[in-house]
Chains A and B, each alone.
Chain A
Amino acid sequence: MSFSEHIGIDIGSTFTKGALFTVHDDHLELTERLEYPTDRGDVSAACVSIFHRLSESAQGDSPEIAFSSSAHGGLNMVAIGIVPRYTEKLAREAALSAGAKLCGSFGYYLTEEDCRTIENINPDIILLTGGTDGGNMEYVLKNAHMLSQSEISSVVVYAGNRSAKSEVEKILSSSEQFTLYMCENILPQIDEPSIKEVRSVIKEVFMNQIMKGKGLSRARDILGCEPIPTPGSLFSFIERISTFDEYEHDWALVDIGGATTDCYSVVKEPLRSLYDGVPVFGSGVKELQITRSVEGDIGLRLNSLNLCELIDDDTGLKDYAELVTEHIEHIPQNAEQHRFENLLASSALSLAVKRHSGLLSPIYSVDGQFYRQLGKDLSTIEFLLVSGGVARRAEMEVFFDTGKKQIRLVPDSPVIKFDKDYQLPLLSVIQGVSDKVLAEYFWNQILSKEKGA
């Protein structure tokens, strides 16, 4: 008979949430869930209170404890590569999958103006990449040099051409402004992206260095563990539960927030082979099976007016959007407001998924018509799991206009599911449960197969 307890806490910018999970004989369940508003002056406060409450609820006296945070802007990153559809794109993917907020990305040679832009962004981490192993060295060397000549001061993670590694290290360590981490190349060969190591290094950097400035030290001291960035923890969770043959589904998670919306997708075959019987060809770097995108202009509070523009409505939706933009803590009060909230949430969901999906454009040849695919094919997606505060109260549907000339590869007939207890970020952060137990709980409890469950 095995028994273990796990406390997972997530510090968000408006609410801090926590849960106590219990595992009996490889069977996981949610025992208690709590949430308090986050105090912007002291982001650790709510986390510490939740920790004490849940520790009292725990039966044993040594539950596993873990926490994540997206407060104070999370982890700000800049990505640098060479060719936009190769290393620049991969550097962006790597940063996003590690849970960063991508504040800029640059290709080819950095200019002085680019450096000033980066200075103003003042990122926590710069990810410097470029060149396959044994490939191009000029760009990374020149870019390293440009960084070293600038006023930028930041952590730099190098994950470019192996052959340029020691030279880049020399250039960047010649001044004190950078803390350097050297990684394996994210693109060792042109058709072999490899972002795993970079991701774990970025997370490690976040834990060791970045969080110091984010007001989390007190939470760390009391809880006795290091925080991870919330999206990074969600990404790893998705990876952990997607490695089992018995749960082979393509699916996506859409985390709808007040200001931004994140979309994560899991697709076994991101490149389509045929569309309407016509061959499809890819282009650029191989699409990854699991990816994350962030929409900075889609949100149900601060960005709700953007969503209104997509909806044909003359019943007062816009007034409602103005109201919630002004009062971000507002919760729908009556049937009409619920209807508005559902409309906004549906369009946030649809738009985020649409932007996450790839595009087919026709190519005309002597041999008839073909398609070229850019981005990921999401048509095979079976479930869209909606998370975020809104998942608890709104009802949603998806509507895509997929375009005529170019075809959007949006999910064909997705079933929408809800993270009703808003427990995903809390489940994601706990580490001491085996992948198998976690996967079973996720697929059978949170995402059970019945429609609308």
Chain B
Amino acid sequence: MDKMQVVLGVIGSDCHAVGNKILDRFFSDNGYSVTNLGVMVSQDEFIDAAIETGAEAILVSSLYGHAEIDCEGFRERCIERGLDPIVLYIGGNLVVGKNDRAIVEKQFLDMGFDRVFVPPNTELIDQAEILQEDILKNRDLSTRAI
């Protein structure tokens, strides 16, 4: 079977580059074909790259605390531009200050992300398997739709 295609990047005007490199390595080593857009990636750049590469998931990072503004309307934009279904993950230090993890998670799930990884839940262990399951679930959905 062909490798699953995923797009990776750090959203907005966020330039924290280290975690992004680790994520690239982690998902590449675990069987994915990763298109890494690096830092300072806009919503449309994620979507453009996902369309062109036929990606089934977009993995968004945000470290500098402005995820809420940067990710506003991301799911809707994906749908509008024909990326439906698509797995959307987000991780990092999504908001400023020490907020309750559950609240932050819920906030981003409500925005349309499928999974949210905030500290201390950011350690990379079984994300590769979870991602595969989520992608397969989407494939299943789309075949049923036809």
A residues bordering B, Cβ < 8 Å?
A: 82-83, 85-87, 108, 130-132, 134-138, 161, 163, 187, 189-190, 281, 283-284, 363-367, 370
- Give 12 CB contacts A-B under 8 Å: A83-B51, A86-B49, A131-B54, A134-B2, A134-B3, A136-B53, A161-B54, A187-B52, A190-B49, A281-B40, A366-B64, A367-B64
Contacts of A190 in B (CB 8 A): 35, 49, 52-53
Residues of chain B from 17 to 49 with CB closer than 8 A to chain A in the complex: 33, 35, 40, 42, 45, 48-49
Give CA–CA (A370, B55) in the complex, Å: 28
CB-CB nearest in chain B for A138:
B54
Contacts of A130 in B (CB 8 A): 52
Q: Are B15 and A367 in contact (CB under 8 A)?
A: yes
CB-CB nearest in chain B for A139:
B51
Q: Are B5 and A135 in contact (CB under 8 A)?
A: yes
The answer to whether B12 has its CB under 8 Å from any CB of chain A is yes
Known: A365-B12, A367-B15. A86 touches B45 (CB 8 A): no
The answer to whether B115 has its CB under 8 Å from any CB of chain A is no
Q: Are B66 and A136 in contact (CB under 8 A)?
A: no
Q: Are B52 and A135 in contact (CB under 8 A)?
A: yes
The answer to whether B13 has its CB under 8 Å from any CB of chain A is yes
Contacts of B5 in A (CB 8 A): 134-135
CB-CB nearest in chain A for B47:
A83
Q: Are A134 and B33 in contact (CB under 8 A)?
A: yes
Give CA–CA (A136, B33) in the complex, Å: 13
- Binding site secondary structure of chain B: loop
Q: Are B48 and A86 in contact (CB under 8 A)?
A: yes
Q: Write the nearest CB–CB distance from B69 to chain A, whole angstroms.
A: 10
CB-CB nearest in chain A for B55:
A135
Contacts of B3 in A (CB 8 A): 134
Contacts of B54 in A (CB 8 A): 131-132, 134-138, 161
Most buried by B among A83, A87, A136: A83
Give CA–CA (A22, B48) in the complex, Å: 51
Q: Write the nearest CB–CB distance from A109 to chain B, whole angstroms.
A: 9
Give CA–CA (A367, B63) in the complex, Å: 13
Residues of chain B from 34 to 93 with CB closer than 8 A to chain A in the complex: 35, 40, 42, 45, 48-49, 51-55, 64-66, 82
Q: Are A365 and B45 in contact (CB under 8 A)?
A: no
Give CA–CA (A282, B93) in the complex, Å: 25
Q: Are A370 and B51 in contact (CB under 8 A)?
A: no
Q: Are A367 and B53 in contact (CB under 8 A)?
A: no
Q: Are A83 and B13 in contact (CB under 8 A)?
A: no
Mask, B1-16, CB within 8 Å of A = 1, is 0110100000011110
Kindly identify which residue among B15, B42, B52 contacts A87, using a CB–CB cutoff of 8 Å.
B52
Contacts of B2 in A (CB 8 A): 134, 163
Contacts of B82 in A (CB 8 A): 108
CB-CB nearest in chain B for A363:
B13
Q: Write the nearest CB–CB distance from A139 to chain B, whole angstroms.
A: 8
Contacts of A367 in B (CB 8 A): 13, 15, 64
Contacts of B33 in A (CB 8 A): 134
CB-CB nearest in chain B for A88:
B52
Contacts of A82 in B (CB 8 A): 51-52
Give CA–CA (A134, B52) in the complex, Å: 10
Contacts of A87 in B (CB 8 A): 52
Q: Are A86 and B52 in contact (CB under 8 A)?
A: yes
Q: Are B51 and A366 in contact (CB under 8 A)?
A: no
